[in-house]
Amino acid sequence: MNIVWFKRDLRLSDHLPLQMALQGNHPVLLLYIFDPLIMAQPEHSPRHWRFVMQSLREMKSRLEAKGLSFNMIYGASKEVFQHLIRLYQIQGIYTHLEVGLKASRDRDEVVLSLFKENRTKYYQFEQDTVEKNRMDRKGWEEQRMSYFDSETIDLDWSKADIIDLPSHIRDIFDIRQMDSGYFETDSNFQIGGELQARKVLSSFLDDRYLSYAQFISKPYHTVETCSRLSTYLAYGCISIREVYQAVKRKMDTADLDLPNLEQYLIRLFWRGHYMQKLETDADLQFQPTNRELIQVERDFDEELFEAWSNGKTGYPIIDATIRSLEATGYANFRMRATLVTFATFTIWQDWKEVATRLAQLFLDFEPGIHYGQMHLQAGLTGYHTLRLFNPTAQLEKHDRNGQFTKQWLPELREVPIRYLSQPWFMPYDVQKAAGCIIGQDYPEPIVDYEIATRIAKSHYWRMRQKLEVFDALPAIFEKHCLPKNIPGYLKALEINREEYLKARK
């Protein structure tokens, strides 16, 4: 038989491994493995596996409606395949490349050597415009566009000979051994599944996209006005090519609001770019893009970290964002960046701890985008402009009426809008009238933003301006940047370096 091994590709359409397996002249087993080694990674939290479970259940019920079966099991991947290899003559294992954490790469290596020992063929296909073993970006953009523009795959299920696992194997690897929380659904979170993904896509293209650019940073609005497809893309409930082509079709018909959809496509293109970075340099999970910046040693202060990660910093936009993430798994781009710059600069916390905590919170946790963005916001590339997001200014600009902040911080509901961004300035009688005593009902700020950030920045720049940091850059450009941008980057680097040397003299 052939096996289709599903990973971050939880869909039944536009799926090359599935097509290839179905075309073979052998029965096909459709398989998802909940692997405890992957599930135990600190970046993962139950919300991720609930989404996966919902997506799988939707696939399973659609297949069952056709009289076909789908198997999800719980166990170490190697052990599962050892059993299957003993039991069946496996013609081939068909799967997608997963741009994942180190743990998933380790898993793949282990099973690959098992397959080699047993002469089991392993066919791994690329997706999301990411290429394995790519060490630079020559031709990458062209390759991406040709993938986006190529036809999506229509699967022919009419002759599908899908087989089920024998009951004794299902018993050994029974998913009911997993925590019962993974089987639950929480209506505050997006629900997994391919049909759900299509619903979200079509509601975006019906009318939600009309305010996309206008509200892109406004936390109260982006819940509706951004596409909200990131989690579906992260778990492969829909292919990025299907999304791209639906957007292009819409752009061909609607000539009124092209800029919104153009803005959207730019972000969709970033996706593969960041994922390719992690595929090219797997150590980005642990080390800065610019290795010399390892010298920017941040602290781990449990009290400060806990205050940040539990939404108790005394800075309302930070606390509201963390609390909304806790409850829904979603924050828009700007709020994520604000959280990171506050954590890694203002309170100077270890970026890896920050990355792990946010990964647990983000329902759409996608390792490539996540670590790429963490490096950018925490200043770990050594060439991006440092942009620190002042939480007071962010609230005043992007939550001007306080709708978002008051939604997630009910203790501030009666606080007059002029004090909302800096509630510690409320006179005591206003605090009393608002039912919010600072230091009692809502925390005092954990640090003074201006002072703490100034100290952090000066420390950071002392490290960033070391010659070694400059000198590491050309190799980074070569590896991760699009060839068309490299000359500009090199030129800027040269100027910066010269200015720095002059200043040092």
Ligand X SMILES: Cc1cc2nc3c(=O)[nH]c(=O)nc-3n(C[C@H](O)[C@H](O)[C@H](O)COP(=O)(O)OP(=O)(O)OC[C@H]3O[C@@H](n4cnc5c(N)ncnc54)[C@H](O)[C@@H]3O)c2cc1C
Which residues contact ligand X (rule: CB under 6 A)? 226-230, 233-234, 264, 267-268, 270-271, 274, 332-333, 336-337, 340, 362, 364-366, 369-370, 373-374, 377
Instruction: Closer to ligand X by CB, 83 or 271: give it.
Output: 271
Closer CB to ligand X, 72 or 226, in the complex: 226
Q: Determine the Cα–Cα distance for residues 241 and 251; give it in Å rounded to an integer.
A: 15
Q: How far is the CB of 223 from ligand X (least distance, A)?
A: 9
Which residue lies nearer to ligand X by CB, 35 or 128? 128
Whose Cβ is closer to ligand X: residue 47's or residue 83's? Answer: 47
C-beta closer to ligand X: residue 104 or 431: 104
Closest distance of CB 48 from ligand X, Å: 10
Closest contact distance (angstroms) between CB of 260 and ligand X is 10
Smallest CA-to-CA distance from 317 within 394, 260, 378, 253 is with: 394
Q: How far apart are CA 410 and CA 481, in angstroms?
A: 44
Q: Whole-angstrom Cα distance, residue 352 to residue 485?
A: 29
CA distances for 262 relative to 128, 151, 216, 230, angstroms? 19, 21, 13, 17
Smallest gap, in angstroms, from Cβ of residue 39 to ligand X? 17
User: With left for phi above 0 and alpha for psi between -120 and 50, is residue 176 left, alpha or beta?
Assistant: alpha
Of 204 and 470, nearer to ligand X (C-beta) is 204
Residue among 84 and 247 whose Cβ is closer to ligand X: 247
Task: Report, in Å, the least distance between residue 476 CB and ligand X.
Answer: 18
Long-range contacts of 477-482 (CB under 8 A, 24+ apart): 477/383, 478/136, 479/135, 479/136, 479/137, 479/280, 479/281, 480/137, 480/276, 480/277, 480/280, 480/281, 480/289, 481/137, 482/137, 482/140, 482/141, 482/273
Contacts of residue 367, Cβ cutoff 8 Å, sequence gap at least 6: 43, 99, 100, 101, 278, 285, 359
Which amino acid is present at 102?
K
Beta carbon of residue 439, minimum distance to ligand X (angstroms, whole number):
30
In the complex, what is the shortest distance from the CB of residue 268 to ligand X, in angstroms, rounded to a whole number? 5
Three-state DSSP state, 302:
helix
* Alpha helix ranges (H) inside 96-209: 102-117, 140-149, 167-172, 194-206
- What is the closest distance, in whole angstroms, from the C-beta atom of residue 329 to ligand X in the complex? 11
- Cβ 312 to ligand X shortest distance, Å: 20
First to last CA, the chain: 71
Of 30 and 369, nearer to ligand X (C-beta) is 369
Closest to ligand X by CB, 75 or 311: 311
Q: How far apart are CA 248 and CA 242, in angstroms?
A: 10
